[in-house]
């Protein structure tokens, strides 16, 4: 199982250079062939980047129907623990939340962010994810 970072969604939403790779991965999550998690914090961050309420509504309406996606809402107590852990492993808060939750549940992080490469759990890129 996997934890998806914001940059995977944003790659598709803004049709960046690797959007097709991300699109294929996210479609497998959508169909339920891959089980994945996303933090509500990540969803809020993407929504803030999108900015326009109509775009946010379309984005949220889409992902809420995805069969393989579980949205995780961390309590503030766990966000505090994540922030403390992030400081110990030299990650920013956003990456620290992902690292904390991935370690806690035993997930692999799907991201283009090389900061995770410095951690003991690393990361995968969408092309590296295998359908089970």
pTM of the model: 0.95
Output the pLDDT for position 3. Answer: 98
User: What pLDDT digit, counting tens, does each position of 33-66 carry?
Assistant: 999 999 999 999 999 999 999 999 999 999 999 9
Show me where the domains of the chain are located.
2-73+107-126
Count of CB atoms situated within 10 Å of the CB of 58:
12
Q: What does the mean pLDDT of the chain come to?
A: 96
Span 18-37, average pLDDT: 97
Residue (of 131, 85, 92, 125) closest to 108 by Cα position: 125
Judged on CB neighbours under 10 Å (0-12, 13-18, 19+), 17 is exposed
Beta strand extents in 15-120 (DSSP E only): 36-39, 69-72, 108-110
Write down the pLDDT at residue 132. Answer: 62
């Amino acid at each position: 199982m996997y934890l998806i970072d914001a940059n995977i969604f944003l790659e598709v939403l803004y049709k960046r250079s690797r959007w097709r790779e991300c699109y294929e991965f996210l479609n497998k999550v959508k169909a339920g062939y891959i089980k994945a998690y996303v933090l509500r914090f990540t969803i809020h961050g993407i929504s803030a980047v999108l900015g326009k309420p109509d775009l946010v509504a379309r984005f949220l309406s889409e992902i809420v129907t995805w069969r393989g996606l579980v949205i995780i809402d961390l309590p503030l107590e766990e966000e505090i623990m994540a922030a403390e852990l992030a400081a110990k492993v030299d990650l920013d808060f956003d990456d620290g939340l992902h690292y904390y939750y991935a370690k806690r549940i035993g997930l692999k992080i799907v991201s283009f962010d090389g900061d995770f490469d410095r951690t003991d759990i690393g990361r995968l890129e969408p092309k590296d994810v295998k359908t089970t």
